[in-house]
Structure 1
Amino acid sequence: MPTATIDYRDGDTVCEAYVSHDGKGGKRPAVLVAHQWGGQGPNERAAADRLAALGYVGFAVDVYGKGRRGEPGGDNGYLMAPFMADRAALRARLLAAVEAARSHEAVDPEKIAIIGYCFGGLCALDLARANAPALRGAVSIHGIFPPPNLGPQADIDASVLILHGWEDPLAKPDEVLGVAKELTDAKADWQLHAYGHAMHAFTAPTANAPEKGLAYDPKAAARSWASIEAFLAEVLA
């Protein structure tokens, strides 16, 4: 599959996307992949390749900017914190990624979706909250749910899928109920799949810190990917 990195801009900040597709020609839907708190890395690029094998353009986005990456397994809160504190800036950065994907020669600009892991799950929800252009669907995978508090929430047009480990200490039951109410109030078409006994980062094979609430769960990982495939086939048809 052809892969490439491409630069795009949010104002003065240069970001670097990883793009993967099957190279068969023509235009097809794009699925953005939003990264966890360490920045775009091998897991996100592998997800983009996996999406390309399904016939989409996999577009791994770069929230932090070209060359800004954290340490695998390290505390990367310093990278994420500025965007958690300024959700308007996060929204602008994500919308820049959408426009970069829509302008790619292999992409059907009217068929866009996003999946996101951990911090990227919040990014996926924030694009849905923003009613990003041509966004058909958003998937939060062991994500976090704080609302952006950027004024009244407009009705959400995109379909939303939340894939959640019930034992995730970063998204406790009251927060899950909160995002469910938020999406209901915004008249979104939403689904919530909760996996019993699964913790945060349940799709990451290297996650092995159950004392911190982080652990790989192969059953939840397989079930969640099957749900992603079915969801994307529906919303991007």
Structure 2
Amino acid sequence: VNVFVLLATACLLGRAAASPAEASYNFTYGYNPAAITVNALNYTDEFGTALMGYLAYDNTTMVQRPAVVIIPDYDGIGPYELWRANLLAQLGYAAFVADIYGVAQVQGPALTSAQSSALDQMYLMDPELLLSRVGAGVAEAQMQAVVKTNATIVIGYCFGAAAILDLAASWPNPITNNVLGVMAFHAASPPSSEINMTVGNPIRISVQQGFDDPSIPQAEALMTQEMWESMGVKWEWTWYSQTVHAYTEPDLVGANAGSTMAYSATADQRSWQALRFYLLDLFSYVTPQNQYANTTVFDTTSSFA
């Protein structure tokens, strides 16, 4: 079974039209806009392709901080990814939304599902190109003045989740330098025949997955986990019950019963908390904004329901 075909199919299921709902959600809550700077950064990949990513950070200090690189879902950079970056910036990190499709490509809610699916299939069928774009985003994030260059985590949603699992498997490729871990949200599970981890791979892997996600056969998930275990990889895999694909996506709030893609407030909130603890664990980095004891809205809110 080809993980790239599985993921492309999953992104088609349950989304018959474009996702204009994403543009109508309130993406301004959960952080203080006055304290967050967002810079558009022009950069290129190794082939010279023009890319534009977005760096968000708390502007009340210029101290260097760990970086969280975000790889978007199948419609590329949109309000959703930028909102996640702002939330992470509020927690004290430097968050960089990487550009996979390039500045020449329209991205976000303006794309129809058919257009988004065609794009993600094109890149998933060319893993070398996809890996190059992910690596370019990681490198650009690590060059920023507010970033601690030796502390990077890469996260991804759907299409982006498949890409970051491929990134982790590419170690010791230099593009993984200073990448401490990856966290995948509602990804397709890569079969062991496609993702050959190297013994000694230090990159920590976390997968946050819906148990009823049709893109991931249970036997294939177990095969992947057993392969990771046999290679000495440090991994964790969280299943969310009664949860299907794309459970963090705002345009899927109120999806029809039986849909293969639907928002889940429980899975969204708990996977967000899992990310926060994961970052604290790997970075060993605590600020007044991200202490465990902090119970402000910035710690607890990640739900559209």
Note whether the superposition's TM-score is higher than 0.5: yes
Instruction: Give the alignment partner of residue 46 of structure 1, picking from 83, 101, 109.
Output: 83
The structure that is strand-richer by fraction is 1
Deviation per residue, 1:107-158 (Å, 9 max, x gap) = 1110000111101111221221123110011000001123596785323211
Q: Which residue is equivalent to 1:234? A: 281
Higher relative contact order (CA 8 A, sep 6+): 2
Amino acid at match of 2:278: F
Contact kept in structure 2, 1:87 and 1:148, CA below 8 Å: no
After the TM superposition, which residues 9-28 of structure 1 pair with which residues of structure 2 at under 5 Å, given as runs? 9-10=44-45, 11-23=47-59, 24-28=61-65
Residue 227 of structure 1 aligns to a residue whose secondary structure is helix
CA change 1:209–1:180 in 2 (3 A) is: farther
Q: Percent identity?
A: 27
Deviation at residue 53 of structure 1 after TM alignment: 0.8
Instruction: Give the alignment partner of residue 68 of structure 2, picking from 28, 31, 40.
Output: 31
Q: Which residue is equivalent to 2:182? A: 138
CA change 1:182–1:62 in 2 (3 A) is: farther
Deviation per residue, 1:51-95 (Å, 9 max, x gap) = 101110010111111142264562222111122112122111111
Tell me the TM-score normalised to structure 2 length.
Answer: 0.73
Contact kept in structure 2, 1:128 and 1:157, CA below 8 Å: no
Tell me the TM-score normalised to structure 1 length.
Answer: 0.93
Q: Which residue is equivalent to 1:57? A: 94
Q: Which residue is equivalent to 1:119? A: 159
1:195 is aligned to 2:240: yes
Q: Which runs of 5+ in 1 are unaligned?
A: none
Contact kept in structure 1, 2:38 and 2:54, CA below 8 Å: yes
Q: Which residue is equivalent to 1:223? A: 270
Q: How many residues align?
A: 237
Q: Which runs of 4+ in 1 moved over 2 A?
A: 70-73, 145-153, 208-212
Amino acid at match of 2:68: V
Instruction: Give distance in 1, aligned partners of 2:239 and 2:131.
Output: 26
Q: Which runs of 5+ in 2 are unaligned?
A: 1-35, 285-305
**Larger Rg computed on CA atoms:** 2
1:168 is aligned to 2:208: no
1:79 is aligned to 2:119: yes
After the TM superposition, which residues 172-183 of structure 1 pair with which residues of structure 2 at under 5 Å, given as runs? 172-183=217-228
